[in-house]
């Protein structure tokens, strides 16, 4: 595998899916340009995000920030059923004011280093009822059904964030992870645009270089160099969207020369930085 896969697309404020997989299916590590909420309903699933692994229980809510590398590992002895919602970060920005931020739940996932939350039963039923109503609104052909769906989605996000702010949730610790690899991942992401070499990481975290490289790929699906390059490219794409000059983006994101940056960008996004900027304009 030469690169992480970019999965899904989003051309609206949000997208809603109710999915059930019963046949054997293998998922690769992938990422999204948007935030994602998964409400796990049934199955035997171990969900891996950025080196952490979570054994899900029914009605767990999984929060996946955009650009997070993730995949589910599924035991198909049971059907894998879930609600999936894709959410545009630009849409969420419209609901970020001095008094509230509907993206607070995703900020919590980063702050607590946990992508899975478990809602207390009383609040959970309210959220599940809203999801049922949202699903109906999206499938019916009634007057202003699209507006009704948007309002229900916003109400869902309000109640989800209220549950978090009212401490009616439990953040679920990852059940399986390699502490050293998590520390290395956190260090890489905190120093993403600096020069990072495997030898230096090995010395800093007191771990054999070759053992580190093997475990890193085992836990993330990628080599250290590939992980750093892909993360830098994902950040560069976000900066280009903000209309920052491409040459500045190249060097700010840790690339030493433009030609290397442009080739790598085209490999992962199937377009050059200049073409991408033009398409966004």
pLDDT of 11 reads 82
Query: Which residues lie across from 270 on neighbouring strands?
Result: none
Fold of 5-172: Jelly Rolls (2.60.120)
Instruction: Say whether 64 sits in a helix, a strand or coil.
Output: strand
Phi/psi of residue 14, each to 5°? Answer: -155, 160
Surface-to-core class of residue 76, CB atoms within 10 Å of its CB (0-12 exposed, 13-18 middle, 19+ buried): middle
Q: Domain 179-280: which CATH class?
A: mainly alpha
Alpha helices (H) in 166-193, listed in sequence order: 179-190
Where does the pLDDT of residue 103 fall: very low under 50, low under 70, confident under 90, or very high at 90 and above?
A: very high
Two structure tokens written together for 230:
């892909």
Q: Rounded mean pLDDT of 229-235?
A: 91
The radius of gyration of the chain's CA atoms, rounded to the nearest angstrom, is 20
Strands (E), 94-229: 116-119, 169-172
Count CB neighbours of 262 within 10 A.
17
pLDDT of 2 reads 35
Reported as a single tens digit per residue, the pLDDT across 48-94 is: 998 888 999 999 999 999 889 899 999 989 999 999 999 998 899 99
pLDDT of 29 reads 86
């Amino acid at each position: 595998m030469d690169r992480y896969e970019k999965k899904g697309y989003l051309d609206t404020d949000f997208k809603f899916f109710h999915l059930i997989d019963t046949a054997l299916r293998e998922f690769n590590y992938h990422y999204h340009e948007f935030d994602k909420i998964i409400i796990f309903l049934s199955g035997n699933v171990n969900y891996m995000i950025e080196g952490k692994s979570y054994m899900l229980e029914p009605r767990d809510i999984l929060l996946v920030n955009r650009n997070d590398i993730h995949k589910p590992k599924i035991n198909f002895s049971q059907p894998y059923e879930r609600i999936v919602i894709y959410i545009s970060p630009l849409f969420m920005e419209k609901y970020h004011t001095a008094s509230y931020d509907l993206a607070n739940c995703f900020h919590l996932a980063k702050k607590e280093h946990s992508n899975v939350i478990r809602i207390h039963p009383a609040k959970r039923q309210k959220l599940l009822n809203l999801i049922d109503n949202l699903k109906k609104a999206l499938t019916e052909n009634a007057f202003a059904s699209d507006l009704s769906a948007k309002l229900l989605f916003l109400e869902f996000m309000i109640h989800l964030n209220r549950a978090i702010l009212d401490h009616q949730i439990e953040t679920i610790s990852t059940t399986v992870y390699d502490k050293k690899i998590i520390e290395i991942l956190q260090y890489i992401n905190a120093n993403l645009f600096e020069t990072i070499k495997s030898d230096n990481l090995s010395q800093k975290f007191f771990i054999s270089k070759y053992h580190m490289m093997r475990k890193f790929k085992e836990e993330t699906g990628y080599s250290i160099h590939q992980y750093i390059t892909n993360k830098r490219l994902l950040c560069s794409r976000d900066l280009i969207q903000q209309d920052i000059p491409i040459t500045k983006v190249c060097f700010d994101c840790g690339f030493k020369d433009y030609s290397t940056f442009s080739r790598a960008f085209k490999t992962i996004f199937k377009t050059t930085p200049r073409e991408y900027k033009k398409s966004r304009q």
